[in-house]
Amino acid sequence: MGLLDHVNSAVSGAKSAVGHSKEDGPPQGASADDTEELDEESGNILLSLIGQLRIGMDLSKVTLPTFCLEPRSMLERITDFMSHPDLIFGTGKQDNAEERFIAVTRYYLSGWHIKPKGVKKPYNPVLGEWFQCSYKYGNGTEGFYIAEQVSHHPPISAYYYVSPENDLIFYGELKPKSKFLGNSAATIMGGENRVALLDRPEDGEYEIGMPNMYARGIMFGKMVLELGDHSKITNANNDMSADVEFKTKGYFTGTYNAIAGRVTHSGKHIGDISGKWSDEMDYKEAKGGASRELFNAKKAQFAQKSVRPEEEQEEFESRRLWARVTEGIKEKNLDKATDAKSAIEDAQRQRVKEREEKGEVWKPRFFEQVGDKFVPKLEALPSDAYRPEKAVKWFEKRRA
C-alpha cells in the first residue's frame, strides 16, 4: 500500500469522526478555545482536500477552504504582540541589564494567548498588501504599527512598530513554511523579531525567534492548536539569552500549552521560566530561588488598536482588500467568501504575469532588505509619527 493510499484510508475512516457530539468536549487538558469541531459538510471538504496530500508536502500553494480561515490578514495578526505594551514601557530606565532582558522576554511571551477560537489560519497576504494601525495608551503615549508583504514566493511579512515617547521599537519579518504531517499540519515559523530600547542604545537589539505552530487532529479526532519546539531570545551586547521550549503534549503524558525556559548571562544559569503561555507564567531566580509571576493572561489588559475606516484605505490595505472575504466568513456565507478570495488570488496571478511580460521587478514600498533582514524605509512611511529622531539614527546605523 502506497503513502497516498494510507492517507486516503485514514480519511475514509475519519469521516465518521467528523460528527462528534458537541458535548464530548475538548481533548483532555486542552482549552475549548484551542479546539475546533467541523460540521459534516465542512469536515468532508477538508478531508477530501487532505486525501490529495502527501507527507511532507509544502502547503504554501494549497488553497484552504474559507471555513479554515481567521477573518484577518497575517499582517494584522502580528499586532497581537503589541497588545500588552505596559509590560515593556519604561524598561530602558531599568539599570539592571538582567531585568531589562526579563522584561523583553515577558513582552514576547505575552502575545501568544491572543487568538481566534478554534484552529484558524489568517489570510495569506498578497504581494504589496499592507496594514497600518495606531494605539493610544493610558499613560498618554502613542504607538504606530505598519506591515507589508514584501515577498510572495517565499512568503515574507515585514513589520515595524514604534512608540516614540516610550523609546521603543519592534521590527522584523515572518517567513512561514507550512507542511503536511499526516494527522497534523505544521507552520514552521522562520524569521526574527527584534526589539530596541532607544534610551538604552548600548544594549543593541534583542533578537527573538519564533516557535512553530501545529494543527493537530485534522483527519481524525478533534482539531487542536499547539505551539511547539524551541524559541531563542538573545541580547548579544549583554551576553544574555533565553532558550524557551514550547512543549507539545505527548500521547500519554504532558499537557497542552506548557513552556519551560532557561535564562543565562555570560554562560551562567540565572533563572527559569515555567507555566502555560495561555494562562500564567512564572520566573524563578537560580540564586536564592525567589519566584515571581512573569505574566498572567487571565488578568492582562489589552491595548486596543485604531484602524482607519475601510472607505478611507487604499486598495491594497488589508481590511479593504479582504473586506468581502471577511463579510462572507462572518455571515457564514462560504460561497461569498470563496468567490471573493478567488478573485483576489486570480488578480494577484494576473499582476505577476503582467510584470513578467514587461520584465519588471517588484520592490517593497515601505521596507528594504539589508542582508537577510527587512528594515523600514522611514521616509516612505505614512506619517512623521513613524520616524522620531532616535529611530532615524537607529536605522541609519543598521544600513551602514
Concatenate the DSSP letters of all residues of 136-198 into one string.
Answer: E-TTS-EEEEEEEEEETTTTEEEEEEEEGGGTEEEEEEEEEEEEE-SSEEEEEEEEEEEEEET
Helix (H, G, I), strand (E, B) or coil at 62: coil
**What is the average per-residue pLDDT within 225-246?**
94
Is the confidence at residue 39, as pLDDT, over 90?
no
Provide the number of structural domains found in the chain. 1
Residue 39's φ and ψ, nearest 5 degrees, are -75, 175
Counting residues of the chain whose pLDDT is more than 90, the rounded percentage is: 61
Beta-sheet pairing, 156-163 with 240-246: unpaired
pLDDT at 56: 66
Q: What end-to-end distance do the CA atoms of the chain give, in Å?
A: 58
pLDDT at 59: 59
Is the confidence at residue 64, as pLDDT, over 70?
no
pLDDT at 46: 56
Question: How would residue 231 be classed by pLDDT, with cut points 50, 70 and 90?
Answer: very high
State the residue range of the domain holding 13: 3-399
pLDDT at 280: 95
**What is the average per-residue pLDDT within 368-391?**
96
- Cell (9 digits) for 161: 512598530
Cβ-proximal residues to 397 (8 Å cutoff; 6+ apart), any chain: none
Identity of the highest mean pLDDT range in 31-35, 164-168, 245-249: 164-168
Question: If we measure between CA atoms, which residue out of 228, 214, 181, 224 comes closest to residue 50?
Answer: 181
Is the confidence at residue 258, as pLDDT, over 90?
yes
* 341-353 residue pLDDT tens: 999 999 999 999 9
- What is Dmax (Cα atoms) for the chain? 67
Q: Is pLDDT larger for residue 367 or for residue 187? A: 367
**Is 219 within 8 Å of 50 (Cβ atoms)?**
yes
**What is the average per-residue pLDDT within 228-239?**
95
pLDDT at 44: 54
* 46-60 residue pLDDT tens: 555 555 666 666 656
Q: Is pLDDT larger for residue 372 or for residue 10? A: 372
Question: How would residue 293 be classed by pLDDT, with cut points 50, 70 and 90?
Answer: very high
**Is 68 within 8 Å of 46 (Cβ atoms)?**
yes
Q: Mean pLDDT in the chain?
A: 85
Is the confidence at residue 28, as pLDDT, over 60?
no
Taking the C-alpha atoms of residue 162 and residue 74, their distance in angstroms, rounded to an integer, is 19
Question: How would residue 67 be classed by pLDDT, with cut points 50, 70 and 90?
Answer: low
* 117-145 residue pLDDT tens: 666 888 999 999 999 999 999 899 999 99
Query: What burial letters (b/e) apply to 262-275, b meaning 16+ CB within 10 Å?
Result: ebbbeeeebbbbeb
Taking the C-alpha atoms of residue 121 and residue 390, their distance in angstroms, rounded to an integer, is 36
Angle between helices 334-358 and 323-330 (to 10 degrees): 160
pLDDT at 3: 34
Residue 144 sits in a domain of what CATH number? 2.40.160.120
